[in-house]
Chain A
Amino acid sequence: MNKTIYTTAIPQTILHILPAIALIFAVISCEKDIEFNGSESSPKPVLNAFLSSGETVGIRLTESRFFLYPAVDEPFKPITDATVHLRNEAGQTIPLAHTGNGYYSTDYRPASNTRLNILATFPTGMADIESTTDIPAPPLLLPTHDSLSILIDTFIYNFSTIPAQINFKCENMNLSFIDPVQTTDYYRLLLTLRRTNSNGTITHSNIQFGSSDIVFGTKEDEILEETDKNRYKVFSDEIINGKEHTINLHWNYMTLLAESDSFGSSTYDLIVELQHITKDCYLYFKSLGAAQNPGDFGNLISEPVQVYTNVTNGIGIFAAYTSTKNTYRIASPEGKD
């Protein structure tokens, strides 16, 4: 008899039925609508902005709504009449102009290591909102030498609309980077497959990847990985501060060959993007990811998640990142045309 011992997480599907005990009681219980015991919360201004080094600045302002507000199908109300200014460390004030539907922008392109403060005022009586972020320096992502080995499988369907499927698989991919000393740093890692079709059109698809690396904290959970719709991972340098570190990844990406396409006519590139993000950005992504993947039976078993905000008197996120990208050409898949 073969005996294998693993130390990975227990497949939790086996245990998922256990909370059914709790759910039974909820199902058989008496239910009724009740009045909300409190006053209705007034709308708050919601600011969303991710700034990047060398890119123009754009933000969006909307109003939040009370959680019992019935029109959940309606888009959030854009704030179109706000006065928005950026201020940098040099004391320069940069106005942002409303470009429609709550979007505000300027041609100003912040450089790395710049601190920016944003202030928005509203004529409608809402309190002024304010936030600050730093534009991080680019991360030191090292080239992925010859460790990158991508397996390609093709499956011919011969259907008129979907002639074939292509699987790209990488079981062992190492990404190295150098973390700066003496600073606490935060990162976001993305893998993107860029496909250039024969007619020149380009599509980008984010790849979901897995890793048991220590920077990601909790041991890899295969079940959660399947249900997580985030094709990125964020991490801090808490354990690797000031060191060169190599993250080992694995991924499997499936795409379909378009009707008008053929094997060999498209080119594929893997883009590895390491973003150096602000702490606020890190906390926002972590909390947003947890809120969007509440786990077993929603919040009945786990505590509800508070999405992080760094906007004074308002909600939302005003954060920044700077990317370093490495691009690798993937051999063209071969198949029967």
Chain B
Amino acid sequence: MKIQTNALRLITIQLLTFALVAFPASIRAQTHTISGYMTDAETGESLVASTVFEINSKKGAAGNAFGFYSLTLPPGSITVQYSYAGYEAQTLNLKLSHDTTINIRMKQNNVLQEVTVTANRANTGVQSVQIGAVEVPIAQIKAIPSILGENDLIKALQLLPGVQSGTEGFTGFYVRGGGPDENLFLLDGVPVYNINHLGGFFSVFNNDAIKSVTLYKGGFPARFGSRLSSVLDVRMNDGNNKKIHGNVSIGLISSRLNVEGPLGSEKTTFSISARRTYFDILMKPFVSSSNNTAGYYFYDLSGKLSHRISDKDRLYASFYMGDDVIYASSSDWGSIEKLGWNWGNMLAVGRWNHIINNKLFMNATATYTRYRFDMNLNNSSGSKADINSMSYKSGIHDYSAKLDFDYSLNPDNEIKFGADYIDHTFRPGIFTSNEEGSETVIGDKNISASELALYAEDNINLGRNIKANLGLRYSTFFVQDKYYGSLQPRLSLRALLADELSVKAAYGYMSQYIHLLSNNTVSLPTDLWVPVTKRITPMQSHQLSTGIFYNLNNLVDLSAEIYYKTMNNLIEYKEGASFLGSATGWEDKVAMGRGWAYGIELMAQKTIGKTTGWIGYTWSKSDRLFDRRGEELNFGRTFPAKYDRRHDINIVATHRFSKKIDLTATWVFSTGNSGTLPMHKMEIPDIPGSEHTQSSIDYIESRNNYRYPNYHRLDLGANFHKQTRLGLRTWSISIYNTYNHMNPFLIYPQEDWEYIPGPDGSSVRKSSIHLRQSTLFPIIPSISYTLSF
């Protein structure tokens, strides 16, 4: 306790220092502030990261995640332009003589988002300070063809430069050479710990419930932290406040439903989405009988309520629940055996938005998030006294409270600051056996940890063309009487060379206090989150990036970015180690080391006209070095990271032929993944005490020493729309891997035997070894039906 008290005292002192440094005093001439919300005129949805821009002074501001904007200007005649991707820009002329509230309702250009304005995108456009971030319109994500017709947000983002997918068909997410646990997935601001359904074939994000998606790969603003490599900020729909609206979709393996609308008045809205697969129903005739039944399904259920109390206060409540379920039961001679596995996430968020004054916006959030894996096995012979059972439970849950402020200090300083406290509880895996009334519990105790972060960032105009985002984040972590603290500076700079051309640079220091114990090949539900310990210290990264951004005729956004990232205290399995869900002794099974990654990312994104999409190219390299005493991997020499690939090319193109038909094609090419192959076999000597009988063993000179064949595939999709009396119905037909290229999933040597006639007429066994390649996904056609009402 004394240690904690001293640590808290230390934090308090540091925070005071931090606050003094973070808020520069600024004395300015008299100014007035225009503020308000920007919403969709048809649905009332708030518009995330919209833009407001005063044309004469060329001062602008970005709306926040809740559609609120605030722009402080000198008094006088002004011309203000409001813009947002996919919406018609609105221009207002007014004489600014006092603080003014203007709520803007933006009109979409058309419902299919044929036309968007890209140059003024608040978060990621040419004029923004942000580098290393990408926004992808939800409409584009929905149009991308996918396996079994199941559009998936994560798989769409895997098509972006700098993002690698890992294993084909899975939702693995490797950003700029980072690991799978170095990504912060936020759903309405709440971390989602396991984004996978069905071992990673599908993600938990239901596109019908999503309003916006922004991926940060670098240049992280100070408001984000706790992961090294990326932040995926997903925002859910608030709900249409004009009329009930929704859609129903029926696919080969799942169906989805989304309904949203006003509750009583425009002040209150709701949005509910649900999705369920029906593998279990389709497979029932094949796996079930009168005595036995078995199945698998997953579902998602999400909802959001929003209520406008007044012009200054809004309340939001949102939740998400999703589970994967495996069940089986069999009965025989009065004995019944039941098996049940459940794993999934649950999130709940309560949020209060309050406009303190025209310059100061507050967002107070309370959240709960948990991921859990439960397995139960029961055996009974009919009577209650004769029940034997086993169960295994693991997971993590967090309670969190967060305060964020947006403060428009003056025309040249937009400040964000806030604090975030998370109470973590790690459940590392408890096995319980109940046999004939005797209960046995095996496993480690729950581990509690506290994480506190404070941040401040300032968007500063430094002259007419130079803009900077200066930020500082201070985070602390308490676990098992151990205190870690980290001061993380962030800096982004933008120099506007012309209205449509800018260069940007950024530096960011990140620190991460939790690890995922997982193998890198597939995502298993037993993958465990564990906190740092006295031995396993926090991961850290430094990232430098720079880039040039150009908007071509307001049609195409062109960008070229270069990054260099170093990572320290990374963990990897020691050779031969695997976890399979047991956290016991995990510190002994991992090695700590460092890594570095660098690369070039080129992107051309077009979101205007009948043809939209992007072309992305990445050249990258990612290495690891584990050379600490007793923790050497690859004999303490540098080796390529698991998904180190030199070239990635992604082309996504959607063409709208008419209001009735649009086609999408996706072509993906990448250098093959690297794998480890033993190039030699060697003799092993007789060793006293060893009862191994084999005389040879594989010799591996270097980790990840073999490059798999190149990966490429073409996916095609077509959507056929028709307005019916029930609503807009869409038939979607897609073909995954259209030219049926056998892409490698796994390559391994396989030994075959055959008997051939010997010289004396007897048969002689002859062996041969081949290199064998497994492919997961050949050509896969699919179809789905959607009705929007």
If A26-B774, A303-B576 touch, whether A14 touches B681 (CB-CB below 8 Å) is no
Task: Decide: A230 and B690 in contact? CB cutoff 8 A.
Answer: yes
CA distance A267 to B130 in the complex (A): 81
Return the CB mask of B555-575 against A: 1 if under 8 Å, else 0.
Answer: 000000000000000001101
Task: Decide: B771 and A34 in contact? CB cutoff 8 A.
Answer: yes
- Could you tell me which residues of chain B, from 434 to 450, have a CB within 8 Å of some CB in chain A? 437-444
Pick out which of these stretches binds chain B: A5-13, A84-92, A104-112.
Answer: A5-13
Return the CB mask of B661-691 against A: 1 if under 8 Å, else 0.
Answer: 0000000000000001111111111011111
Chain A proximity of B148: nearest CB distance (Å): 14
Task: Decide: B691 and A231 in contact? CB cutoff 8 A.
Answer: yes
Task: Decide: A18 and B679 in contact? CB cutoff 8 A.
Answer: no
Q: Is A243 an interface residue (CB 8 A)?
A: no
Task: Decide: B442 and A12 in contact? CB cutoff 8 A.
Answer: no
Task: Decide: B772 and A73 in contact? CB cutoff 8 A.
Answer: no
If A18-B526, A34-B747, A46-B683 touch, whether A315 touches B774 (CB-CB below 8 Å) is no
Task: Decide: A37 and B707 in contact? CB cutoff 8 A.
Answer: yes
If A15-B526, A64-B680 touch, whether A231 touches B765 (CB-CB below 8 Å) is no
Task: Decide: A21 and B677 in contact? CB cutoff 8 A.
Answer: no
Q: Is B390 an interface residue (CB 8 A)?
A: yes
- Could you tell me which residues of chain B, from 567 to 613, have a CB within 8 Å of some CB in chain A? 572-573, 575-578, 580-582, 584-585, 588-589
Task: Decide: B440 and A37 in contact? CB cutoff 8 A.
Answer: no
B767 neighbours in A (Cβ, 8 Å): 70-73
Return the CB mask of B212-236 against A: 1 if under 8 Å, else 0.
Answer: 0000000000000000000000000
A206 neighbours in B (Cβ, 8 Å): 688-689, 691
Task: Decide: A10 and B745 in contact? CB cutoff 8 A.
Answer: no
Q: Is B773 an interface residue (CB 8 A)?
A: yes
A64 neighbours in B (Cβ, 8 Å): 680-683, 699
- Could you tell me which residues of chain A, from 167 to 191, have a CB within 8 Å of some CB in chain B? 188, 190
Return the CB mask of A207-249 against B: 1 if under 8 Å, else 0.
Answer: 0000000000111000000000111100010100000000000
If A62-B682, A75-B695, A303-B576 touch, whether A8 touches B772 (CB-CB below 8 Å) is no
CA distance A60 to B687 in the complex (A): 13
Q: Is A302 an interface residue (CB 8 A)?
A: yes
B635 neighbours in A (Cβ, 8 Å): 306, 308
Q: Is B700 an interface residue (CB 8 A)?
A: yes
CA distance A21 to B584 in the complex (A): 23
Q: Is B770 an interface residue (CB 8 A)?
A: yes
Task: Decide: B431 and A11 in contact? CB cutoff 8 A.
Answer: yes
- Could you tell me which residues of chain B, from 363 to 382, have a CB within 8 Å of some CB in chain A? 375
Q: Is B67 an interface residue (CB 8 A)?
A: no
Pick out which of these stretches binds chain A: B5-13, B75-83, B90-98, B517-525.
Answer: B517-525
Q: Is B703 an interface residue (CB 8 A)?
A: yes
- Nearest B residue to A65 by beta-carbon distance? B681
If A18-B581, A295-B576 touch, whether A10 touches B431 (CB-CB below 8 Å) is yes
Pick out which of these stretches binds chain B: A128-136, A255-263, A286-294.
Answer: A286-294
Task: Decide: A41 and B679 in contact? CB cutoff 8 A.
Answer: yes
A10 neighbours in B (Cβ, 8 Å): 392, 429, 431, 442-443, 581-582, 584
Task: Decide: A296 and B690 in contact? CB cutoff 8 A.
Answer: no
If A18-B526, A301-B519, A308-B635 touch, whether A30 touches B774 (CB-CB below 8 Å) is yes
Task: Decide: A306 and B682 in contact? CB cutoff 8 A.
Answer: no
Q: Is B778 an interface residue (CB 8 A)?
A: yes
CA distance A306 to B632 in the complex (A): 11
If A236-B630, A294-B576, A303-B576 touch, whether A231 touches B773 (CB-CB below 8 Å) is no
If A8-B584, A230-B690 touch, whether A69 touches B681 (CB-CB below 8 Å) is yes
A36 neighbours in B (Cβ, 8 Å): 771
Q: Is A3 an interface residue (CB 8 A)?
A: yes
Task: Decide: A76 and B682 in contact? CB cutoff 8 A.
Answer: yes
Q: Is A300 an interface residue (CB 8 A)?
A: yes
Task: Decide: A293 and B576 in contact? CB cutoff 8 A.
Answer: yes
B699 neighbours in A (Cβ, 8 Å): 64, 306-307, 309, 315
Task: Decide: B575 and A231 in contact? CB cutoff 8 A.
Answer: no
Q: Is A44 an interface residue (CB 8 A)?
A: yes
Task: Decide: A46 and B630 in contact? CB cutoff 8 A.
Answer: no
Return the CB mask of A51-92 against B: 1 if under 8 Å, else 0.
Answer: 000000000101011111111110110000000000000000
Chain A proximity of B463: nearest CB distance (Å): 53
Q: Is A316 an interface residue (CB 8 A)?
A: yes
CA distance A218 to B590 in the complex (A): 11
Q: Is B386 an interface residue (CB 8 A)?
A: no
Task: Decide: A291 and B698 in contact? CB cutoff 8 A.
Answer: yes
- Nearest B residue to A302 by beta-carbon distance? B578
| B680, B689, B742: the one within 8 Å of A32 (CB) | B742
Chain B proximity of A241: nearest CB distance (Å): 12
Q: Is A146 an interface residue (CB 8 A)?
A: no
CA distance A101 to B94 in the complex (A): 99
Task: Decide: B773 and A32 in contact? CB cutoff 8 A.
Answer: yes
Task: Decide: B439 and A73 in contact? CB cutoff 8 A.
Answer: no
Task: Decide: B576 and A291 in contact? CB cutoff 8 A.
Answer: yes
- Nearest A residue to B702 by beta-carbon distance? A306
CA distance A68 to B519 in the complex (A): 27
Chain A proximity of B180: nearest CB distance (Å): 15
Task: Decide: B438 and A1 in contact? CB cutoff 8 A.
Answer: yes
Q: Is B727 an interface residue (CB 8 A)?
A: no
How many residues belonging to A are interface residues under a CB distance threshold of 8 Å?
A: 86
Chain A proximity of B567: nearest CB distance (Å): 19
Task: Decide: B689 and A230 in contact? CB cutoff 8 A.
Answer: yes
CA distance A14 to B339 in the complex (A): 12
Q: Is B760 an interface residue (CB 8 A)?
A: no
Task: Decide: A232 and B682 in contact? CB cutoff 8 A.
Answer: no
Residue of B441, B584, B768 with most chain A CB atoms under a 10 A cut-off = B584
Chain A proximity of B582: nearest CB distance (Å): 5
Q: Is A160 an interface residue (CB 8 A)?
A: no
Q: Is A159 an interface residue (CB 8 A)?
A: no
A285 neighbours in B (Cβ, 8 Å): 687
B703 neighbours in A (Cβ, 8 Å): 303, 306
If A15-B392, A217-B588 touch, whether A303 touches B441 (CB-CB below 8 Å) is no
A67 neighbours in B (Cβ, 8 Å): 677-681, 698, 749, 769
Q: Is A38 an interface residue (CB 8 A)?
A: yes
If A14-B390, A67-B680, A229-B691 touch, whether A21 touches B522 (CB-CB below 8 Å) is yes
Task: Decide: A18 and B580 in contact? CB cutoff 8 A.
Answer: yes
Return the CB mask of B713-750 against A: 1 if under 8 Å, else 0.
Answer: 00000000000000000000000000000101111010
Q: Is A16 an interface residue (CB 8 A)?
A: yes
Q: Is B332 an interface residue (CB 8 A)?
A: no
Task: Decide: B691 and A302 in contact? CB cutoff 8 A.
Answer: no
- Nearest B residue to A28 by beta-carbon distance? B776
Chain A proximity of B253: nearest CB distance (Å): 15
Task: Decide: B697 and A301 in contact? CB cutoff 8 A.
Answer: no
- Nearest A residue to B577 by beta-carbon distance? A302
- Could you tell me which residues of chain B, from 748 to 782, have a CB within 8 Å of some CB in chain A? 749, 751, 765-776, 778
Task: Decide: A305 and B575 in contact? CB cutoff 8 A.
Answer: yes
A29 neighbours in B (Cβ, 8 Å): 745, 774-776
Residue of A8, A34, A35 with most chain B CB atoms under a 10 A cut-off = A34
A190 neighbours in B (Cβ, 8 Å): 688-689
Chain B proximity of A40: nearest CB distance (Å): 9
If A9-B584, A50-B685, A68-B771 touch, whether A38 touches B573 (CB-CB below 8 Å) is no
Task: Decide: B709 and A34 in contact? CB cutoff 8 A.
Answer: yes
Residue of A3, A206, A305 with most chain B CB atoms under a 10 A cut-off = A305
| A65, A296, A307: the one within 8 Å of B578 (CB) | A296
With A64-B681, A316-B682 already in contact, 15 other A-B pairs whose C-beta atoms are closer than 8 Å:
A6-B440, A10-B584, A15-B581, A30-B742, A37-B709, A38-B706, A50-B685, A68-B749, A219-B584, A229-B692, A232-B690, A288-B697, A294-B576, A306-B635, A315-B682
- A selection of 22 A-B contacts at a CB cut-off of 8 Å is A9-B584, A10-B431, A15-B392, A22-B521, A22-B522, A33-B770, A62-B683, A70-B766, A70-B767, A71-B767, A72-B681, A73-B765, A76-B696, A206-B689, A218-B589, A219-B585, A232-B690, A301-B580, A302-B576, A303-B703, A306-B700, A307-B700
The 5 nearest A-B residue pairs measured at CB: A290-B576, A232-B689, A302-B578, A48-B685, A64-B680
